[in-house]
Amino acid sequence: MSARSFRTGVVVVAAVCCAGLIAGQRWGDARARQQHRGAVALLAADSVRVAQARGEAPAATLARLERRTGYRATVLCGPDPVRQCVGASVRPSLLDSLRLDEAPRPWPDGAIAPLTDADDWDVVGAVAVAATSGAERPLAPVRPVTGICVLLVASLAAWLWRWAGDAPERRRRETLVAWSFLGIPFLHLAVFSFGPLAFTVYLAFHEWSLVADARPFVGLANFRELARDPLFWRTLWNTALYTTYVPITMALALGLALLLNRRRGGERLLRTVVFLPFVTSAVAIAIVWQWMFNPDFGLANYLLGLVGVPSIDWLGSARTALFAIILVTVWTQVGYQMIVFLAGLQGIPQTYYDAALVDGASPWRRFRHVTLPLLRPVVLFVLVTGIISGFQVFTLVYMMTEGGPLHSTDVIVYRIYQTAWEFLRFGSASAMALVLFGVLLAVTVVQFKLLGKRVDYT
Residues 434 and 423: their CA atoms lie apart, in Å, by 18
Query: Which sign does the torsion angle of CA 327, 332, 333, 334 carry?
Result: positive
Residues 431 and 202: their CA atoms lie apart, in Å, by 9
CB of 414 to another protein, least distance (A): 11
Question: For another protein, what does the binding mask look like between residues 91 and 110, x meaning CB under 8 A?
Answer: --------------xxxx--
Which residue of 152, 187, 212, 441 would you call a contact of another protein, by CB under 8 A? 212
Report the residue number, 117 or 174, with the smaller CB distance to another protein. Answer: 117
Report the residue number, 122 or 166, with the smaller CB distance to another protein. Answer: 122
If DSSP states are collapsed to H, E and C, what string results for 314-341?
A: CCCCCCCHHHHHHHHHHHHHHHHHHHHH
**Contact by Cβ (8 Å): 172, 164:** yes
The window from 16-24, 257-265, 317-325, 337-345 that contacts another protein (CB under 8 A) reads 317-325
Report the residue number, 35 or 385, with the smaller CB distance to another protein. Answer: 35
- Comparing CA positions, the residue from 367, 352, 380, 346 lying closest to residue 458 is 352
Positions in 170-209 near another protein (CB under 8 A): 207, 209
267: left (phi over 0), alpha (psi -120 to 50) or beta: alpha
Cα distances (angstroms) measured from residue 13 to each of 17, 19, 237, 443: 6, 10, 49, 40
Q: Does 122 bind another protein (CB under 8 A)?
A: yes
Q: Does 313 bind another protein (CB under 8 A)?
A: yes
- Judged by CB under 8 A, the number of residues near another protein is 53
Report the residue number, 117 or 169, with the smaller CB distance to another protein. Answer: 117
**Contact by Cβ (8 Å): 380, 452:** yes
Q: Does 34 bind another protein (CB under 8 A)?
A: no
CB of 199 to another protein, least distance (A): 13
CB of 416 to another protein, least distance (A): 14
Which residue of 2, 151, 402, 441 would you call a contact of another protein, by CB under 8 A? 402
Q: Does 225 bind another protein (CB under 8 A)?
A: yes
**Contact by Cβ (8 Å): 35, 24:** no
The window from 76-84, 85-93, 251-259, 313-321 that contacts another protein (CB under 8 A) reads 313-321
- Comparing CA positions, the residue from 12, 20, 29, 6 lying closest to residue 150 is 20
Query: Which sign does the torsion angle of CA 389, 446, 203, 216 carry?
Result: positive
Q: Does 299 bind another protein (CB under 8 A)?
A: no
Chain contacts with another protein (rule: CB under 8 A)? 105-108, 115-116, 121-122, 124-125, 128-129, 132-133, 207, 209-214, 216, 218-219, 221-222, 224-225, 290, 294-296, 313, 315-318, 321, 399-407, 418, 421-424, 428
